[in-house]
Every structure is written in structure tokens, then in C-alpha cells.
Amino acid sequence: MFKKIIIVEDFDSIGLGISAVIQNRIGANEIVTSQYCDDAYLKIKRAIQDSIPFDLLITDLSFEKDHREAKIKGGKELVEKLRQQGISIPIVVYSIEDRRVVIKELLEIQKVGAYVLKGRNGLKNLEQAILTLTNGEVFLSPELENSSEKKELFELEDFDISLLSNLAKGFSQNEISKDFKLKGMSPSSLSSIEKRINRLKEEFEAKNAIQLVATAKDLGLI
Amino acid sequence: MFKKIIIVEDFDSIGLGISAVIQNRIGANEIVTSQYCDDAYLKIKRAIQDSIPFDLLITDLSFEKDHREAKIKGGKELVEKLRQQGISIPIVVYSIEDRRVVIKELLEIQKVGAYVLKGRNGLKNLEQAILTLTNGEVFLSPELENSSEKKELFELEDFDISLLSNLAKGFSQNEISKDFKLKGMSPSSLSSIEKRINRLKEEFEAKNAIQLVATAKDLGLI
DNA sequence: TTAAAACCTACGGATTTCCGTAAGGTATTG
DNA sequence: CAATACCTTACGGAAATCCGTAGGTTTTAA
């Protein structure tokens, strides 16, 4: 049973909802919440140093930017940083992110114990996830379990998202290429940028980059 | 003071968070929650018929689709339907939607009493919104208050909107020109199309047509 | 281990967009 | 009426895109 739990979630409404469920249904006796990944990281490290470590981390993936400058920008980075430091705390990811690539990496490489999709029954699944985790088993949201093959037709990588948002910001393909080169990303050549945009255009049946970005907006991808 | 409140929100985590705040801070003595707009609509109608109407409606805007077929697909439709029926219940919209056009319509046409943006301090703002509403005043999330309304000053003609949506549909400037010529619209020359796009680009500070269409989408113009 | 597939990169030509200039037409105003 | 402003259209060169080809490298699979 998990006694000491830390929750990392930027939206206060969701954080409060999670807290309530944990308190009423799981029976932890110490719940700490944090709206910033940086804070959460420090708290986790500190707790280990003080020999009163957390038993469980529940974290969101995406965090809104605000006035505070953030070193750790999202839940994925937080998890990666913890694992790099050899911290093997059990982790539940609670996010709206449904792309298999992302989820797969978290489960298989970062050894996250549970992946719960936010949604109508997100909290029910979260509760189930924690119980499953108590038995040392891995939990995956039911929405993801069954339809694993259908949706896998086409999934956007972070690269594609980055590409699309750069386009939406008005950068030319050349500028994007140079920017990617600066950041050491791969691929970064103008030709590859073109190719990738082309692939996306085919995928979304867009005649040109304008329509592509427009449909990406419609689908909420960017 | 609002005594009987209905909350419409698809995500259980957020719904629970709202409930908790209402219960602890507002002191309503009857809170009903609903994860579907259709259900909420029926409950509101029924309560009126039974002469025990709700004092306040708190609703999200976007709702995820699931197996249930939904007649009312989102909070905006729900509000519209209620107002059409002459139901003047005070309404708080609690949503992540930050497009001015949408918000403006809800406030000015549908006479929604408060618009609260989900976010880090969403619940704090929600609480404040309800208190403000109690005094009969209108509440708008602080993130929305200050930021520039410059972009809204500029009134777009139907021509511009048509132009923008044609661009978003993937038509080239040449195609648009020919199409306008066919429809007998004026202006229709390629040169004029270019000029107009240029003006729009300046107006919206867009570097190219892609960014232009992207911001038009953001603003909800198309 | 090797062959095939997939991927990144480069290049060139056709097309489209971008941007400045300019001519003609119409409405406004003094 | 003339001067002016504004709008529509046309044109041309520069820049960016679209699209096909092709060579080299990495990954995958037999």
C-alpha cells in the first residue's frame, strides 16, 4: 500500500480531483501536490535525502507555460530525469496524451508502472491503476488496451508536431531547417523537412502547407 | 447565494475538483453533476417543471465523444438551447477555450454570467466568479481581461473571411481568383487576392499565409 | 552476414507566393 | 471641375514551395 504520494499536475481542478480520490479510496496518509515539475523534482530529491521518500508519483505529462521559467517542461522530462538519477519510485502517468509512441517509451524504457488516460472515467481508472500497481503489476488504460492496432495506422511523432507548430508560427522551411540544425535535431535538412511535410500532406489529404496547418489546428494537434 | 447547482463536465477528475470547491467554499446544499450535455439538459428542464429549478449552471464547452450518441455535442450548444427556450438560469462557463470570438458570443449574446479559463488557478477563479455572479456582476478570467484586444478591432468583411477559408481549404491564390471570377465577385483578380492577403498578413502580424490562416483559426474567424 | 528496406541528404526544374511598381477607373471633396 | 484618395488590375523579378530523381547511410529482416 502506498502511504506517501506526490501528485504533479498543473490544473488545480484536476489536482484537487485526484487528491480527493486518493484520500477517500486509497487511504494514503500523506499527499503532496505540485503544480510545477521543477518543484516536484526538488521535493522528491529532498524526501530521499531526508530518508522519508515518496512511495508513489502520479504525474501529468503536459504543463502550461506561465511567468515562472521552467527547467523541466513536462512530465516526460521529469520521469526521464528521475530515472537517470537511478530513482526507481513507482510512477503513474495521468495524461490526455494517447499517442502510442509516447506511451510505449514511458512504459518500456522508463518503466512507468501505469499509464492512465484522462477522460470520462479517468479517476476510476486511476484508482484501479494504483491498486494494480500495489500488486506489482503494470496497468494500462482500457481505452488503449483493445484498439492497439487500429489507431496505429498513423501516429505523429514529436518531430511532426514540432514541424507543424513551427509552420504555424510562420517560419519558412529553410528557417525550420536551420533551427533544427542549431538544436542538433535529426533530420534537419531542408530536403527532409520538405519530405516530412509532404508525408503529412498525404496523410491529411492536404493540397498544400496552408491546408495542412489548418487541419492540424482543427484536429487540435497544435 | 446559489443553493442548487448543476455541474456539466465530462472528465471525472475535473468534475470532482469543481464539486469539492463548491461544497467547501460556496456552501451550496445541492450539487448535481453530469458528464453529458443531453443529461444535463433533461435535468434542468425537469427541475423547472417540478418547480425546483437550479440556481446556477457550471459547464464545460468541449466534450469527448464516446459510445453514447449525443444530441447536444458541447457546452455552447447546451447554452444556446437553454436560452432559446427562454431559460435564463445564471451560467458559468469553465473551459480551456480561449478564443475571443467564442467567448464574446457567450458573454454578449448568450448572456453567460462568467467565463473562467481552466488552468493553474482555474478553481480559484471559478470560486471568485461565483461570488461575483452572486452580486449580479459579470466575471471574466483575469488571463483574458488585460491582454490586447487589438486584433478584434479590425473588422473583417465577408470577402476576407471567404478568402481565409478558401486558403484553409488548400486552394491556391490563382484558384481562388478564378473561383471568384466565376461567382462574379469583386475584386477577383490574382493581384487583388494577393493584395488583400497582404493586408491581412500585416493586420495579424503574420509572416506568411500559413501563419495567417493559423491565427485566423486561433481567433475562431474560420 | 548480407540483401532489402527505410531514411537522410542533395540537387534541379516547375510552380506558386511574395513584393514592389505602375496604369486606369471610380468615388470623394473642396 | 479638378485634385485627391482609394481600389482594381497588370506585370516582373526574387524568394519560397512543390515535386521528382538520386546517392549515401542506417535499420531491419532473412
Please, are residues B80 and B68 in contact by the beta-carbon 8 Å criterion? no
Q: How confident is the model at residue B154 (pLDDT cuts 50, 70, 90)?
A: low
Q: What is the pLDDT of residues A183-202, one digit of tens each?
A: 988 899 999 999 999 999 99
Whole-angstrom CA distances from A220 to A22, A159, A214, B133, B140 are 31, 16, 10, 32, 24
Distance CA A207, CA A190 (A): 20
| Confidence (pLDDT) at B1 | 81
Provide the 3-class DSSP secondary structure of residue B142: helix
Q: Most confidently modeled of A3-12, B98-107, B203-212?
A: A3-12
Q: Which of B50, B78, B58 lies closest to B7, judged by CA?
A: B58
Please, are residues A63 and A73 in contact by the beta-carbon 8 Å criterion? yes
Res. A157: pLDDT tops 90: no
* A84 half-sphere exposure, CB direction, 13 A CA radius: 7
Interchain CB contact of B16 with A (< 8 Å) = yes
Rounded CA–C1' distance between A18 and C2, in angstroms = 55
DSSP alpha helix (H) spans, chain A: 12-21, 37-49, 75-84, 100-108, 122-134, 142-146, 158-168, 173-182, 190-203, 209-218
Q: How confident is the model at residue A101 (pLDDT cuts 50, 70, 90)?
A: confident
For the whole model, what pTM was predicted?
0.84
Q: What is the 3-state secondary structure (H, E, C) of B147-205?
A: CCCHHHHCCCCHHHHHHHHHHHCCCCHHHHHHHHHHCCCCCCCHHHHHHHHHHHHHHCC
Residue A218, all three cell numbers = 482543427
Res. B155: pLDDT tops 90: no
| Confidence (pLDDT) at A158 | 86
Distance, in angstroms, between A71 CA and closest chain B CA? 18
Distance, in angstroms, between B77 CA and closest chain A CA? 18
The DSSP string of B68-111 is S--SS-BHHHHHHHHHHTT----EEEEES---HHHHHHHHHTS-
* Disruptive mutation site among A12, A121, A169 for chain B (greatest number of B CBs within 10 Å): A12
Considering only CA atoms, give the Rg of chain B: 21
Q: How confident is the model at residue B148 (pLDDT cuts 50, 70, 90)?
A: very low
Interchain CB contact of B123 with A (< 8 Å) = yes
